[in-house]
Amino acid sequence: MAALFAALGTLTVPLAARTSFLRRASFRLACRGNLPINAAAAALVALAQMTLSVDFRLGRSDLGSLEHAAAWLAAFLCLIAFWGIGVAFYRCHAAGILSHVNRRTVEITAMIFTILIAASLYSLVFRGLGGDEIIAGLLHALPGDGFWALLAVMAVMFVLGFFLDFVEIALVVVPIVAPILLLSGQIDPVWLGVLMALNLQTSFLTPPFGFALFYLRGVAPESVRTRDIYRGVLPFISLQIVAIALIWAWPGISTWLPGIVFGQ
């Protein structure tokens, strides 16, 4: 029982992220009587700190008195956290907020899984029809020991970022071109991953479908025109391109830290 409660304590860090909206919403719904919410927040913080200092792994047979006391304390803090979360759920449900949040969560989750399934089916059909061999032939036909092939892939990904979401590019384009580029043996996987990540990050800023542009349009006053927003992101897109160029020219910028961490 103590081990079970201790295991619950290890779940509090992701639980805290998922319940932050409930905490903010419940504070807005009630100007007083926020003791359950404050207590739950304190309990989650305490549980997160305990997971850093106490070994809560399951299956241990050498639990000492300190671990037993910490397990029961974690169980008590879990009860407080569940109490506060339950109160937050009730307040949001009573105010009609919870149903809207649930609906939006289902819509976003369904969209992501639809993209995943569609991307898997597309990749399967694409490879079944020999599309990967055609792409490999085109990239291998380019000169420069993979340099022009990588440049062509990066240019295509940058252009696709104007019209497609980064999720579609990451799930459809990257699985097709990345193995082909890595098979050349001239490209470091970490370096390639960082270059592609920076390129995909640029898609948040490129009009007309950049996420950052939609967010800014939603909060900007009506006096700010959409054309002005598009012009305003040009310096930031330029900075992204400069960062990609620096990583391209000096691959060690992206590989030295993983080399130190993983001893490579």
**pLDDT (tens digit, 9 = 90+) per residue, 38-53?**
888 888 888 888 877 7
**9 and 87 co-located in one domain:** yes
Residue 160 lies in a domain: yes
pLDDT at 217 over 80: no
Domain extent, residue 180, equals 133-262
E strand spans, 28-172: none
Q: Would you say the pTM of this structure is higher than 0.85?
A: no
* Average pLDDT along the chain: 78
Tokens of residue 197, six digits: 């990540």
**Which segment of 32-36, 56-60, 97-101, 155-159 scores lowest on mean pLDDT?**
56-60
Q: Would you state the pLDDT for residue 239? A: 93
Residue predicted with more confidence, 14 or 191:
191
**Residue 37, in any domain of the structure:** yes
Residue 6: pLDDT band with limits 50, 70, 90: very low
Question: Above 90 in pLDDT, residue 247?
Answer: yes
Count Cβ atoms within 10 A of the Cβ of residue 252 and give its class: 0-12 exposed, 13-18 middle, 19 or more buried: exposed
Percentage of the chain surpassing pLDDT 70? 83
Q: Domain check: are 175 and 58 in the same one?
A: no
Same domain, 87 and 148: no
CA-CA distances (angstroms) from residue 14 to 74, 173, 194, 226? 16, 30, 26, 37
- Mapped onto helix, strand or coil, the DSSP state of residue 71 is helix
57 within a domain of the structure (yes/no): yes
Asked which of 44, 76, 95 is the last residue of a domain, the reply is 95
Cβ pair 50, 74 in contact under 8 A: yes
Residue 120 forms part of a structural domain: no
Q: Determine how many CB atoms are found less than 10 A away from the CB of residue 239.
A: 12
Residues 140 and 231 in one domain: yes
Q: Is residue 53 part of a domain?
A: yes
Q: Are residues 162 and 75 in the same domain?
A: no
- How many domains would you assign to the chain? 2
Identify whether 112 is part of a domain.
no
- Looking at the fold, whether 144 and 87 belong to one and the same domain comes out as no
> Are 250 and 147 found together in one domain?
yes
* Calpha distance 255→237 (Å, rounded): 23
159 with 249, same domain: the answer is: yes
Find where tokens 């909060």 sit. Answer: 219
CA nearest to 83, candidates 48, 50, 49, 41: 41
Give yes or no: residues 80 and 19 share one domain: yes
pLDDT of residue 14: 41
